[in-house]
Chain A
Amino acid sequence: MVERLATSAMGTRFEFVLSGEPRGSLRSVGEMAIEEVVLWHQRLSAFASDSLVSHINRTAGDEPVRVDADVWELFVLCDEVWRASDGAFDATIGGAMQGAGFHPGDGAPSRGWGDCVALNAEVRSVRFTHQGVRLDFGAVAKGFALERAAAILREHGVRSALLHGGTSSVVAIGAPPSEDGWRVAVRSDAEPRMVTLRDRAMSVSAPRGRRNSDGHGHILDPRTGASAGNADTAAVLCARADLADAWSTALVVLGKRPAGMPGDAESLIHTGRCWEEMTSAESPDDFREVA
């Protein structure tokens, strides 16, 4: 039995394909997962005035904002990746996105996550060190929402599913019937690469696609506010979609794999005319070519 579900969220289309017979009906489990994506769209949107992110952006410059455990996990993840990527991933990029004309507003590049955001783990609160900080989780939100949705599916016994958000972030649960994994193509300026995913997440970032009025790509280097272009395409495979999402953006900015990247996250970077494949020693077959 196969169920397909879809929703519009985060400026793109999320699509889930579920296979099998879990407890209860497959469709109702899928709907719960879809609703989770919609919930995170509502909470993390930098465009909706009534989202949690807009609330934090308005308030955290004046006083600490308490957040729930789920949102706290997102902040911890953003903190970790910011540190490990030498600032190439930075969720305080909202001001720079405004300055470059991708988002409405008159913001400017931030001083960097570490100088802007103070986290208090004891009470799980977030505070900005100064006014004008603009959080934008656009580089991690799809992966974060997919990760939460996948957790719901697994919790309800789904053993085979493929979830994607805008075809750039993917979570594979198990494999399709009679297959060894879900086959996914990574497109770039060169020929596409096929990867097979099984209980694994993947995210792909590329500066092409959306551009501002000056023709610059939508991925900015948070450290300079300039368009990033050190890689044409970067793909990251790892256990968690949120980590994959954040790291794929960082790799487009960096153009190479930094030392601080987690060992179990595998990377595939396309620069110029060739693919640079950097995988952990444990499972190099994840990039097995099938085409």
Chain B
Amino acid sequence: MQTRRDFVVQTAGALSVMALMPQFLPIAHASAEPLGVALIGAGRQGRAILGELQKMESVKILGICDSEESRMTSGVRRVHGAEGFTDHKAMLEKLSGLKAVIIATPTHLHRQIVVDCLAAGKHVYLEMPMAHTVEDCRAIAEAAAKSSALVFHSGLEGRSNPIYKLARTFFRSDAVRDVVAVEAQHYQKTSWKFPASDPAREKAVNWRLDPEVSLGLAGEMGVHQFDVAFWYLDRLPTAVSGGGAIRLHNDGRTMADTIHCGLRFENGVHMNYAASLANSFEGRHETLRGSNAAIKLAWSAGWMFKEADAPTQGWEVYANKQVFHNEDGITLIADATKLASQGKLKEGVGLPHPSLYYALGDFVASVSDGKPSVCDAAAGARASIVAILAAQAVVKDAEVKIDPELLKV
């Protein structure tokens, strides 16, 4: 039985927790003819892309391209009616009805493929980071700008994630108030190493461990999480520091398996970033702290932790209690009154699809409806350039100043 003292202690000590739930609008498009798309790069991410595209009635997957035949064949086997190619130029020439491509090749191969696809008049969805060099990022952004009739979508998934979009409206309101600091992490336990039978194949499949072409954890993982901060804060950093080490995978690699970065913004806000391939505790999330509340975003869910002295918001009346770690909190679900009246309040918890689905859906909607991309080439280039500089800071174990001119894309 709870005593009054317990109640007072818990109430004073506990931060309120609210799960933020967006309204889920189905991705549906008016055009009768499905959009003909092709995938370039049928590795792990490519497989996930195919899985999400196949949920969309408004899309028809016409082609799958991968320079490695076995990956291409696996992709074609999975998708009913798709044609396989090992050369993207041959695919662009041959596939009739192809309107859009999704590019998920290794980062350092993006530039030429993007240029070829835009030149062939195809709309482009490009996985991030955009490229492994500032020069390539700028070249891709320029190519996209010259093809203004075509949609170019940078695959920064946070900008399409319904929970992230909803949380951003809270973040920019009195609910969170003055920004204090930002933290983010990406932790998983894996070597990032694929089996390879010879040195040539080793270089091809283990490109993420090759310092000549890979941005490592700061680039491949950090870019998506850095961008959440840029998008929420509506500003870019002026400096980035970093460092790293090999803490577990001492297998001859030189790429750090554990890193940390610090991003400084001119208003005094600082973002701490940590990533590792040696430990998986608490995975991947971002926390944005304000003077009234903190928002924690974990891709398929988001929560707000209120300060005890923060004013009560009107929407809190819809909240119900939830235990989160050791704290009593309240869950907030958008559209809560409607769901509650239907007895479906609990069904509103959790996104119906992975973030990738919403990013691809935004791209398809832009192409089908002729609307601008929610994450254009300039946004992708800026986030990627910061990620490139962060990767340099990790290698140098130093701070790198960010020239604002560099980010004018």
Which residues of A does B touch, CB under 8 Å?
22-25, 27-29, 31-32, 35, 42-43, 48-50, 52, 54-55, 58, 63, 65-70, 104, 123-124, 156
| Cβ contact within 8 Å between A50 and B191 | no
> What would 13 A/B residue contacts be, using CB atoms closer than 8 Å?
A23-B197, A27-B191, A28-B195, A31-B193, A42-B354, A49-B347, A50-B353, A66-B55, A66-B80, A68-B54, A69-B77, A124-B80, A156-B195
Select one of A49, A55, A124 contacting B55, CB under 8 A.
Answer: A55
Partner of A35 from the list B44, B195, B349, B351 (CB cut-off 8 Å) is B44
Chain B residues near A43 (CB-CB < 8 A): 51
Please name the residue on chain B nearest to A42 by beta carbon. Answer: B354
Known: A31-B191, A55-B55, A66-B54. A50 touches B300 (CB 8 A): yes
Q: Decide yes or no whether B324 CB sits under 8 A from chain A.
A: no
- CB <8 Å contact, B349 and A49: yes
B246 within 8 A of A: no
In the bound complex, residues from chain A placing their C-beta under 8 Å from that of B318 are none
Binary per-residue interface labels of chain B (169-180) against chain A in the complex, 1 for a CB within 8 Å, 0 otherwise: 000000000000
Chain B residues lying within 8 Å of A29, measured Cβ to Cβ, are 195
CB distance from B359 to the nearest CB of A (A): 14
Q: Is there a chain A Cβ closer than 8 Å to B40's Cβ?
A: no
Q: Given the complex, which residues of A lie within 8 Å of B351, measured CB to CB?
A: 49-50
Contact A58-B352, Cβ < 8 Å, known A31-B193, A66-B80: yes
Verify B195–A23 contact, CB threshold 8 A: yes
Please give 6 more A-B residue pairs, beta carbons under 8 A apart, in addition to A32-B194, A49-B349, A68-B51.
A24-B196, A48-B350, A55-B353, A63-B57, A66-B80, A123-B80
Known: A35-B190, A68-B54, A68-B78. A49 touches B350 (CB 8 A): yes
> Chain B nearest CB: distance from A75 CB in Å?
14
Chain B residue at smallest Cβ distance from A66? B54
Tell me whether B354 and A104 are in contact (CB under 8 A).
no
A152, B405: Cα distance in complex, Å: 48
Top 8 A-B pairs ranked by shortest CB distance?
Answer: A24-B195, A49-B350, A68-B78, A23-B197, A28-B193, A69-B78, A29-B195, A28-B195
**B409 within 8 Å of A by Cβ?**
no
The contact of B352 among A24, A50, A68, A70, by CB within 8 Å, is A50
Alpha-carbon distance A67/B80, docked complex (angstroms): 9
Chain B residues whose CB sits within 8 angstroms of the CB of A55 once the complex forms? 55, 352-353
Nearest A residue to B77 by beta-carbon distance? A69
- Give chain B's interface residue range (CB within 8 Å of chain A): 20 to 34
Contacting residues, chain A, for B44 (C-beta < 8 A): 35
Contacts of A58 in B (CB 8 A): 352
Taking a contact as CB atoms under 8 Å apart, the answer to whether B190 and A24 are in contact is: no
Query: B residues within 8 A CB of A50?
Result: 300, 350-354
- Min Cβ gap A256→B in Å is 38
Does B80 lie within 8 Å of A31, measured CB to CB?
no
Query: Distance in Å from the Cβ of B28 to the closest Cβ of chain A?
Result: 11
A23-B196 Cα distance, complex, nearest whole Å: 7
B252 CB → nearest A CB, Å:
10
Most buried by A among B346, B349, B352: B352
A96 CB to nearest B CB, Å: 19
Is the CB–CB distance between A25 and B352 below 8 Å?
no
Residue-by-residue, is B342-375 near A (CB-CB < 8 Å gives 1, otherwise 0)? 0000110111111000000000000000000000
Closest to A68 in B: B78
Find the B residue at minimum CB distance from A123. B80
For A70, list chain B residues within 8 Å (CB). 78
In the complex, chain B residues 147-197 whose Cβ is within 8 Å of any chain A Cβ: 190-191, 193-197
Q: Could you tell me the distance between the alpha carbons of A167 and B174 in the complex, rounded to whole angstroms?
A: 52
Contact B346 A104 (CB under 8 A): yes
Instruction: Give the docked Cα–Cα distance between A22 and B195 (Å).
Output: 9
Task: Chain B residues near A27: list those with CB within 8 A.
Answer: 191, 193
